[in-house]
Structure 1
Amino acid sequence: MAIQQHPLPQDISSYRFRLIGDMTIKQFASLGVSIVLAIVVYSLPLPFFFKYPLSFIFIVLGVGMAFIPVQGRSLDVWIIAFIRSIYSPTQYVWKKSKEVSEDMSLSTGPLIGTQAVSNARIELSTGTTATPPEPITNNPEPITPPVSITPVIITPNAPLPESVMTTPASVISTDLSADSTPASTPMPATQEPTTNNPEPITPQIAQLPIPFTPTTPNTLVGLTLTPEGKILDGVLVEIQHNGLTSRATKSNKLGQFMFARPLENGLYQILAEKEGFSFSPYSLDLSGAIIRPLKIQAI
């Protein structure tokens, strides 16, 4: 597609009406007011060493405000900024107040119950799927109530003679636990508890900032990784169609990249490039289905 020439942007917000030639209304007013003030001062019954300098100053100020800009700004803007800088504070002091403002006070109202939603583990895949994501069911699993342990209260017996106090600890424990049930034998140390073998989840993959699966068909998102499986940012991801580049972007600080606009159906080649790393190109056939996040890992 040929590059089209666009007109140069123009600042239409700073347009000023021209009164006489290139003189604007503001310039004419500044010059006219200064001349009137100079004539008024000249006509006053003042000594000549006050009259002439003041008249000259008013005329110079009017000409300067009308025709002599300083760094792109007129002289009246500089005078107003100078007066504001004199009366504006230059030091701010923070004082602690006893009263707490409403936006800083903590809310003490009742908490609204929120339902915890467990996010399913996202798997990286380069394949396509035509089925939408499964809805999240709101049927929580039954929670087993905690087992309460009732403490055993031992009532003290009557004081025993000194000869009885020398009884071994094994005899005392036998007296306290004496009942009709025989003592249970301890389990052998060699017995291993039976445990279910869950599906192993790699901690490194679980900690990666995997982008969410897009809801628009033919929309590509993904993650760029190093050969060790770590986040790799600043990777140039390029999508080509029939040998021409159709989209290009760079991965962010989290290694994520996204193409907001969906692509048309067809066969595309995905290329990645970053200095110091090499990536193998691969093809992706789009057919109007939801594409899971892509994993582009350096080799």
Structure 2
Amino acid sequence: MSLPKNSEKPLRIPPWLRIKLPKTGNFSCTSDLIKDLELNTVCQSALCPNRWECFSKNVATFLIMGHVCTRNCRFCNIESGDLAPLDADEPARVAEAAKRLELKHVVITSVTRDDLPDGGAAHFAAVINAVQDAMPDCTIEVLIPDFQGDEDALKTVLDVRPNILNHNVETAPHIYPDVRPQADYAQSLELLKRSKRIAPDIPTKSGIMVGLGESDDDVMSVLDDFAAVDCDIVTIGQYMQPSRQHPMVKRYVEPEVFDSYAEEGRKRGIPHMFSAPLVRSSYNAAKFV
């Protein structure tokens, strides 16, 4: 099939992004457990390239509040559409899955639920409490939406004391109108800043993807912004097109350039930089703790 006239041709995926599938039986065991407990994971919903490796290590990032999002970020593979009511039993099932997988570090994220008065903050808190009760020695990281700038919602999550508070800015601000039209870069930075003010002892974390049309100077500018809000942990990874309906990759960044991003972040005073092509927000998250 020939490409339409004047259409862009997708870039060839470089060798450093070709993933070897694991050969252990743990992948199907983890997948079956998640299915059995009727849970969602961002690993599956977002088509994360690391899901085979993580499932094979009994690791998953739990996606709460359903699998349908109120927003429609163009880079994301999570659905938008009809929303389901919150599931009151979900916190207990997440805790049960974490216990069965014998996790030492649990990552909990969600779809964005702008339809809820608190954006789902109380449900986040309920899941955190359930995991804490079931596994007191387990550390918990939450990757939260922006709660539309609601400081009380943010405080609801911080009050139950997760070990890490994560909120991704995703990309450079000038790209937001194209790929994140319902989000606000300044609002996301303000969330990270508020978190430090409300709970200064809880580390903050954020991240971006490269390959959506940003320049290296844009990446440096975002690192400056992270440093200005005292963000403790920053992840930088390569954007990969989930399907032909999503924006094409504008550039593939070489591993050596990712190394330079990490060095620049450390120069700016960011304590923990994780920058590599296959780095994702929750990939190997336990190592950050």
Q: Under TM normalisation by the shorter chain, which class is it?
A: under 0.3
Return the TM-score normalized by structure 1: 0.22
